[in-house]
């Protein structure tokens, strides 16, 4: 089984070919970083146009690198949401056209499912597992019981954790994209304990997250400091922020261990996924937590944590194996929760 995957839900245009033998035959990513950098964030209209400009060529390259033609594909998968709708439409329409022209099954993939199932492509991970999904748009803890079977145990009540990294980096003056720049700055910290930041939600029942207070506290720390911020201050603040995020993620995930075990006693694996999972400090903290509690810890290689099309192709393989294909009338979804039955998160800035 060989599936072509397409990812266009944010600012990466990507195409990949993956087989059901867990083989990544090609995985091409074109970052639009330079297009959005002048604006300090992703501009949806620019993103959609850039996807349109590059996607056909990237698909041709992905097929050529994999050494297969359209005729050898078993299906075409596209990220069909959640995400910036202009870009999602570009990817979904392209996949539908290929499916129609080549008489192939079409697979509409939830971008979050792509992240959540990546560990089954890179590692031998069985159901059920606990998934911590930490990206630019989401921060969730999920009990993953099977393909399409997700129970949301906790979610953010305001900002996503990647969004918090991006905003913190902007405040500190580290630029865009925030996550990787903040991680690099934190490594240069000389006095990482110099600034004190809060640990929102720490110790609270359940495993919901909140990050907006952290951003406000960071702003307050910045007020008395000299501008432009000296490198040493920026590095120490970055380290303080990363350490606060690490503490929160560890605390919330520890609570999720208990919730997951109550629902599925055999669950002993923690999988981290999404862009923030590329952060080495976050990975190390979660690894430590899992080891301490006797759980297995799985984190995909860094380049499969951030957005890519191999994860979409793989989710396509998982769905195709079960016959879970979609009709060509499938409408792209700007919002698409993995667990429709989950209670609505309550909080000041809840978005989903
Ligand atoms: O999964 P992803 O590529 O896109 C979404 O689905 O949102 O995640 C992007 C997010 C951004 O907020 C980015 O700043 C963050 O992941 N990120 C990081 C790192 N690399 C990417 N955050 C912290 N440390 C990193 N090394
Ligand atoms: Zn993502």
256-307: pLDDT as tens digits: 999 999 999 999 999 999 999 999 999 999 999 999 999 999 999 999 999 9
Distance between Cα 306 and ligand 1 center (Å): 6
Whether the Cβ atoms of residue 75 and residue 104 lie closer than 8 Å to each other: yes
The residue whose CA has the least distance to atom 16 of ligand 1 is 275
pLDDT at residue number 352? 46
Atom of ligand 1 nearest to the CA of 169: 14
Distance between Cα 246 and ligand 1 center (Å): 15
Which residues fall within 8 angstroms of residue 236, CB to CB, at 6 or more apart?
189, 190, 191, 192, 194, 195
Atom of ligand 1 nearest to the CA of 307: 3
The residue whose CA has the least distance to atom 13 of ligand 1 is 179
Instruction: Point out the ligand nearest to the CA of residue 160.
Output: 1
What is the CB < 6 Å shell around ligand 1?
10, 135-137, 162-163, 165-166, 177-180, 183, 274-276, 278-279, 306-307
Distance between Cα 205 and ligand 2 center (Å): 27
pLDDT at residue number 344? 77
Backbone angles phi, psi at 327, to 5 degrees: -80, 160
Instruction: Point out the ligand nearest to the CA of residue 135.
Output: 1
Percentage helix, strand, coil, to 5, in the chain? 45, 20, 35
Its pTM surpasses 0.75: yes
Distance between Cα 274 and ligand 1 center (Å): 7
pLDDT at residue number 41? 85
Nearest C-alpha neighbor of 96 from the set 69, 81, 75: 75
The residues of the chain scoring below 70 in pLDDT are 346-352
Token code pair at residue 62: 């992905």
pLDDT at residue number 345? 73
Nearest C-alpha neighbor of 245 from the set 204, 200, 275: 200
pLDDT at residue number 157? 96
pLDDT at residue number 348? 47
pLDDT at residue number 40? 84
pLDDT at residue number 347? 57
Distance between Cα 234 and ligand 1 center (Å): 20
Count other Cβ atoms within 10 Å, centred on residue 15: 34
């Amino acid at each position: 089984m060989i599936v072509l995957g397409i990812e266009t839900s944010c600012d990466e245009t990507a195409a990949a070919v993956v087989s059901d033998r867990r083989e990544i035959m090609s995985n091409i990513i074109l970052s639009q970083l330079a297009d959005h950098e002048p604006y300090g964030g992703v501009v949806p209209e620019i993103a959609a146009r850039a996807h349109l400009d590059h996607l056909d060529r990237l698909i041709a390259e992905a097929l050529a690198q994999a050494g297969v033609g359209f005729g050898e594909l078993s299906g075409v998968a596209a990220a069909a949401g959640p995400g910036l709708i202009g870009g999602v439409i570009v990817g979904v329409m392209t996949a539908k056209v290929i499916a129609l022209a080549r008489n192939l099954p079409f697979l509409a993939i939830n971008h979050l499912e792509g992240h959540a199932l990546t560990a089954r492509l890179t590692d031998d991970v069985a159901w059920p597992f606990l998934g911590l999904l930490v990206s630019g748009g989401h921060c969730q803890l999920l009990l993953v019981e099977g393909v399409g079977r997700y129970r949301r145990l906790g979610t953010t009540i305001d900002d996503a954790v990647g969004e918090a990294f991006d905003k913190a980096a902007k405040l500190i003056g580290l630029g865009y994209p925030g996550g990787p720049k903040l991680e690099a700055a934190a490594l240069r910290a000389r006095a990482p304990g110099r600034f004190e930041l809060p640990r929102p939600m720490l110790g609270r029942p359940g495993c919901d997250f909140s990050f907006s207070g952290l951003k406000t506290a960071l702003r307050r720390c910045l007020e008395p400091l000299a501008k432009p911020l000296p490198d040493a201050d920026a590095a120490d603040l970055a380290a303080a922020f990363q350490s606060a995020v690490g503490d929160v993620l560890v605390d919330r995930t520890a609570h999720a261990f208990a919730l997951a075990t109550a629902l599925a006693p055999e669950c002993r694996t923690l999988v981290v996924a999404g862009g923030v999972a590329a952060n080495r400090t976050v990975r190390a903290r979660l690894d430590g937590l899992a080891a301490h509690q006797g759980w297995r810890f799985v984190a995909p290689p860094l380049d499969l944590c951030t957005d890519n099309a191999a994860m979409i192709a793989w989710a396509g393989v998982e769905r195709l194996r079960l016959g879970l294909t979609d009709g060509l009338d499938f409408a792209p979804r700007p919002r698409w929760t993995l667990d429709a039955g989950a209670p609505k998160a309550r909080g000041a800035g809840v978005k989903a």
